[in-house]
Each structure stands twice: as structure tokens, then as C-alpha cells.
Amino acid sequence: MASPSRPFNSWDALKILALLLMFVDHAGAYFLVHDVWLRAIGRGAAPIFLFLAGRASSYRFSREIFVLACLMTLSNIAMGDYFHPLNILFTILLWRAVLDWMKKRGKIIEKPLEWFIGATIFILPSYFLFQYGTLGLLFAIGGIMQRYPELYSRKTQRLFMVASFVAYAATFTLFFGFTVFDILLMAAVLCLDYLLLTRFEIRTMDMRHCPEWLVKLLTLCARYTGYIYAIHLIIISWISHYPI
């Protein structure tokens, strides 16, 4: 867990935005199932989480994330569902493990285009095994490229992110059957994601004009995103009687 003593920063702010988009998405997934536009807006959450997984300074295995991921899976099994793809927490752990293996061996992403082609080839088969499949790897690589600007040109990074968002949008348009209106909503949210992620830098946020209680609440939510994600999904899945 991040140290509770450090001030609220841009990393925390991105996670709060992802949480808000996630809540919109899950409202559409579990309760307002006919309002597909909520799912379109919610598509903006996962790229942020996956990008931050790649942007992180350490890829060490997180037992907390693993336990939360297992609890979500056990919740599904208890509901009688045995075949849902592994949840996004497993996806994050998987790609962090891959990146950790590469980092320990001094390997880098030398040819982003080849990685993009390889990942896109396996989007559909991997999508049914774990949430977001190899799309998750694309955004994690985007995080790496943003973290090491000395290794990748600004143009290369931006092109890679644009291509990743296009692949992401196309995949969910295919699976969700979005209307033109839904696609436009999703495109607007993903454009916001693109602008924030390609310009991201870690810096302290000026929160002096915000109420102290609000700053504490936002800080708490940002530091315990994984817990919020897992616990709220387990609760609403049982309320709605629909697996995670």
C-alpha cells in the first residue's frame, strides 16, 4: 500500500477518475442494464488502471491484490458460475508479472509495433480467459513508454496509445453492440483518457481550497482502490444475482 503520509497527487487523482467511471460502468452492468450508454462511458476506467499498472515503479507481486482477485472468483463460484473470465485484478497481476520478469532480465520493449501486432492477434482468444485480455498489455506498455521517455519518442508513444485505444474501442463495440450514440460517448471518454495518460506526470495536487474531509476521503479511496473495486463488486453481484 502507498504511504498514507504523502500528499494527494496526480496518481491518486487518476485513480479517483477511474473509480468514478467504474461506478458508472457497473451501474449499467448490474442495475440499469437497458441504458447501454452507461457501459460506453464506463469503458474509460480500465485503460487508466492498466496504464498505471505499467507506469508503476515496481511490478512486485501483490498478495493483497491476489487475495482480492481470489475472493471475487470464489464469490462467482458460490453463485454457481464457474466459467466467467478471470477478473481484471488477475489481469493486472499477470501483466505485472510479465513486466517484472522483463525488468529483472534487463529487457525492454524495443519494437512497440511488433508488441502491438502480437497483442491484437490474441485479443479475442485472451478476452474469454481473463478480462480485457491482451488489451491490458497494450495499456501497460503505454504506461512503460510514458515512464521512460528517453527510450521512446513522443510520436511513437502517442501513435501506440492511439492504436491501443482504437483496438480497445473496436473490441467493445463488437461485444456490446454499441449504437452510434454509444460509440460517440465512448470516443469522448477515451479521448479524455488519451489526453490525461499521454501527458501524465506525478506531481502533488493543490488541494488547499478543498474541504479537509473531502481531501481525506479522496486520499483514502485512492490508496485502497483495489479493496473498493473487489468489495463493491462482490456486494452488487449478490444484490443483482449476476456474477462478476
Q: Which domain holds residue 175?
A: 10-240
pLDDT digits (tens, 9 = 90+) for 215-233: 999 999 999 999 999 999 9
Integer Cα distance of 121 and 114 in angstroms: 11
Instruction: Report whether 88 contacts 49 (CB < 8 A).
Output: yes
Q: Is residue 2 part of a domain?
A: no
Q: Is residue 5 part of a domain?
A: no
Phi, psi for residue 38 in degrees, rounded to 5: -65, -40
Q: At 76, is the pLDDT very low, low, confident or very high (cuts 50, 70, 90)?
A: very high
pLDDT digits (tens, 9 = 90+) for 26-40: 999 999 989 999 999
Whether 3 has a pLDDT exceeding 60, the answer reads no
Report, as an integer, the average pLDDT of 103-123.
92
Report, as an integer, the average pLDDT of 174-193.
95
Q: Is residue 1 part of a domain?
A: no
Tell me the one-letter amino acid at 59.
Y
Q: At 106, is the pLDDT very low, low, confident or very high (cuts 50, 70, 90)?
A: confident
Report, as an integer, the average pLDDT of 67-78.
95
- Number of separate domains in the chain: 1
Q: Is residue 165 part of a domain?
A: yes
Q: Is residue 4 part of a domain?
A: no
Q: What is the pLDDT of residue 36?
A: 94
Q: Is residue 3 part of a domain?
A: no
Instruction: Report whether 87 contacts 45 (CB < 8 A).
Output: no
* Residue 62: strand, helix, or coil: coil
pLDDT digits (tens, 9 = 90+) for 126-170: 999 999 999 999 999 999 999 999 999 999 999 999 999 999 999
Task: Give the angle 229-76-87 at the CA atoms, nearest 5°.
Answer: 45
Q: Is residue 185 part of a domain?
A: yes
Q: Which of 202, 180, 165, 201 is nearest to 44 (CA)?
A: 165
pLDDT above 70 coverage of the chain, percent:
98
Average pLDDT of every residue of the chain: 93
Q: What is the pLDDT of residue 6?
A: 75
DSSP letter at 171 equals H
Q: Which of 146, 123, 128, 58 is nearest to 97 (CA)?
A: 58
Report, as an integer, the average pLDDT of 1-23.
84
Q: Is residue 46 part of a domain?
A: yes
Whether 1 has a pLDDT exceeding 80, the answer reads no
Report, as an integer, the average pLDDT of 32-53.
96
